[in-house]
Structure 1
Amino acid sequence: MPVIWKTAGLLVLSNVFMTFAWYGHLKNLASKPWWIAALISWGIALFEYLLQVPANRIGATELTLGQLKIMQEVITLSVFVPFAMFYMNQPFKLDYVWAALCMAGAVYFIFRS
C-alpha cells in the first residue's frame, strides 16, 4: 500500500478519536464537572496519539512537513463536518463548502511540484 494511503488512513482514524475527545464531551458529559470531561477526553486522545504519531512517521518518509500538515487539516475538516451534522445535530452550513474549497487550494499549492 502506498505511503500516502497508509498515512491518510491512520490520520482519518486519529481524527475520529480527536474530534470526539475535543467535542464529544459537549454532548455526552455536559452535566459533569469539567475535570471529568477533561480526564475522559485525555483518555480518548491517547488513542488519537497512538494513531497520529505513526501516521506522521510513515508519511514523513515520502511527504514534506507541509504536505503532512495540509493533509491533516483536510482530513480534520472531512471528519469534523459529518461529526457536527450527524452526531452533534448541527445544521449544514455553506461555509463548510467554502472552507473545503480553500483547503483544496491549499492542497494544490502544497502538493504541486
Structure 2
Amino acid sequence: MPVVALLIASNIMMTIAWYWHLKGGMGKPLLIVILISWGIALFEYCLAVPANRIGYASGWSGAQLKIVQEAITLIVFAGFMILVLHEPVGWRHLGAFACIMAAVALLFSGR
C-alpha cells in the first residue's frame, strides 16, 4: 500500500531530523543542528504530504491517517531508540504501544 510505505519513509526521515544530533551531534552549534534538521525535514514533507493526499483520496479519514502515522512513528522511533540511541525498550513502552495499536484497531473497525 503506497500510503503506508510513504508514511514509513516519512517517519524514518522525521525521526532522523529530530533526533540524529543526540548521538555525535551534541557538540555542534544549535543553529547548525536546526538547519541540518530542516533540510532533512524538507525531504520528509515530500513524502508525508503525498501520503496523506493519496490516503484521503482513497477514502481514509483524516483521523485514520493521523492514527496510522502515530503508530508508524512509534515503531520507527522504537527502532531508532534501540539501534541508534542504545536505549532499552521497557514494559511501559510496550504498554503505550499497545494502547496506540488499540486506537488504530478501533478507528478502522467497521470500515
Q: TM-score range by the shorter chain?
A: over 0.9
Which residue, 80, 85, 89 being the options, matches 1:88? 85
Instruction: Give how far 1:28 is off.
Output: 3.0
Match of 1:39 in 2: 35
1:40-69 superposed Cα distances (whole Å, 9 cap, x missing partner): 000010110000000000000120011000
TM-score normalised to the size of structure 1?
Answer: 0.93
Q: Which runs of 4+ in 1 moved over 3 A?
A: none
Cα deviation for residue 15 of structure 1 reads 0.4
Identity between Structure 1 and Structure 2 (%): 48
Match of 1:66 in 2: 63
Offset at residue 94 of structure 1 (A) = 1.4
Number of residue pairs the alignment of both structures matches: 109
Match of 1:109 in 2: 106
Q: TM-score, normalised by structure 2?
A: 0.94
Q: Which runs of 5+ in 1 are unaligned?
A: none
- The CA RMSD measured in Å over matched residues stands at 0.8
- In structure 2, the gaps of 5 or more residues are none
